[in-house]
Amino acid sequence: MNGPARALRLAAASVVIAGGLIVASCGGGSVQTAPVVQPTNAPASTQAVPTTGGSLTAPAAGNGQAATFSFATGVPSGITLTSSSSTTAPGSAPAPSSIVRRAEAISGAVPFFFVTFSFSASLSSSYVTSEAVSLTSSNPTTAQYYVEFDDITSSPGTKLGCAGPGTVAGLVATILNNGSGGVCTTSGSNPSLQTGHTYLAQFYYVAAGTASPTPSPSPSPTATATSGTQAVFPCGSAPPSSTTGTLTNFTTGSPMAYPTLGACSAAITFQSGTTFGAGTSVNVTTSITPPVGAPSPLPSNPSTGTGAPKAALLYEELQVTAGSITVPPGALTSPLQTVTIASTGTCSTYGESFATAAQGWQGASQGTLNGLTVTFPAGQNSSGTTLNVAGSPYFIGYFCY
């Protein structure tokens, strides 16, 4: 699943009572029917997210359907999930769409169950590993089942990603979040679910035999790109769009490898003087596309001071889940970093930059190519930097010019 931005609120559904219906009788009289009471959704509930792995079941909808969310180990202590369920979509819910940030709806998609949720603190979505939703007799067991995650803090909502297709057994559809296929095409990044945001998990199915949509081709990157460019350097044969991992046991002077992505890899070496809080742990997502929430415009060529990147080599999204990393200002130096790629393409200059969603990219430092490895030397850090849980997510980008 950077990891950050997103969290959630929820609304309990009310009892709906149909008014008495007047029906004409054969004798011209009338008959008053009894009021019809619709099933009531269970009220919203708040539950502690397990820190050592486990699952939480959201309150059931009025028809008895419910969804269970599974979490990986390592979730920071004290985070709670508030959730509610319904078989009716919130007004701000977007239609299931095939590609992140595109409006095209999926032909044949039938949304049938909705969970509105929020977290008490920001949490990388990579910690949410799977979902299981109970089915009714009206849900076809031969269909393909998916889940889409949307940020519905404002209207209309924004798609964050999707997962599926899942597997169906015993009227339960189980969907793993470590891959996608069928009609689900997504950026592959793991956005941060931020406190103060409202999120929606909408479960939908596509009947067997429905053709998957053909995505529109992405435009080629240009020098005027401001929202991030697609990587043009192959990382081996059909690499995934992203991989995730967790960094622990921080130290100075030795390389710490980020999660590899096919044949591509990157590592960071913290310099003497950098300090780490007790039990520091950082969840990292390596991707070849811009992480959700990464700022724009991208940094200029470090050699000339002008011009947008031709492409991105790799992105790293860092979500500090415990402890902190502090690089003091003054004579101490920023980390040394390396990135290894599978092809150099047409690059002549390489740059590395650090960003937060609020501050944007902080300019690029220039790297040196040796074979297929680019080294970005440690440099002067004049202002100091602290990475902590409250300030995440953080982004590192490696670019070519």
pLDDT tens column, 51-68: 888 899 999 998 899 999
Cβ atoms of 87 and 113 closer than 8 Å: yes
162 and 32 share one domain: yes
Cα angle for residues 302, 303, 304 (degrees, 5° grid): 100
**211 falls within a domain:** no
pLDDT given for residue 15 in this prediction: 24
171 and 274 share one domain: no
105 and 158 share one domain: yes
190 and 252 share one domain: no
Q: Please state, in angstroms and rounded to a whole number, the distance separating the CA atoms of residues 221 and 42.
A: 49
pLDDT given for residue 172 in this prediction: 92
**319 falls within a domain:** yes
pLDDT score of 227 more than 60: no
367 and 274 share one domain: yes
152 and 254 share one domain: no
**93 falls within a domain:** yes
Instruction: Pick the more confident residue, 180 or 361.
Output: 361
Number of separate domains in the chain:
2
Q: Please state, in angstroms and rounded to a whole number, the distance separating the CA atoms of residues 280 and 303.
A: 35
**105 falls within a domain:** yes
Cα angle for residues 129, 289, 261 (degrees, 5° grid): 65
264 and 344 share one domain: yes
Which letter does DSSP use for residue 69 in this model?
A: E
In this predicted structure, which of 208-222, 265-279, 322-336, 341-355 has the lowest mean pLDDT?
208-222
189 and 47 share one domain: yes
**222 falls within a domain:** no
pLDDT given for residue 86 in this prediction: 92
Percent above pLDDT 70 for the chain:
73
189: CB partners within 8 A, 6+ apart:
1, 2, 161, 241, 242, 285, 287, 289, 290, 291, 292, 317
As a whole number, mean pLDDT of residues 3-19 equals 28
**291 falls within a domain:** yes
Confidence of residue 348 (pLDDT cuts 50, 70, 90): confident
**212 falls within a domain:** no
Side chain identity at 172, as an amino acid letter? V
- By residue count, the chain amounts to 401
* Average of per-residue pLDDT values in the chain: 75
**225 falls within a domain:** no
Which letter does DSSP use for residue 149 in this model?
A: E
Burial of residue 154 (CB within 10 Å: 0-12, 13-18, 19+) is exposed
Residue with tokens 């697609």: 230
Encoding tokens for residue 318?
């860092």
Confidence of residue 222 (pLDDT cuts 50, 70, 90): very low
pLDDT given for residue 139 in this prediction: 92
pLDDT tens-digit readout, 284-330? 988 877 787 788 788 888 888 888 887 778 888 888 888 888 877 75
197 and 263 share one domain: no
Instruction: Pick the more confident residue, 93 or 351.
Output: 351
Q: Measure Cα distances from 333 to 207, 249, 315 in Å.
A: 57, 20, 22
**Residue 261: which domain range?**
242-400
Cβ atoms of 132 and 56 closer than 8 Å: no
Query: End of a domain among 206, 223, 257?
Result: 206
- Strands 52-57 and 45-48 turn out to be unpaired
184 and 265 share one domain: no
pLDDT score of 103 more than 80: no
Query: End of a domain among 191, 206, 221?
Result: 206
160 and 246 share one domain: no
Query: End of a domain among 146, 179, 206?
Result: 206
251 and 382 share one domain: yes
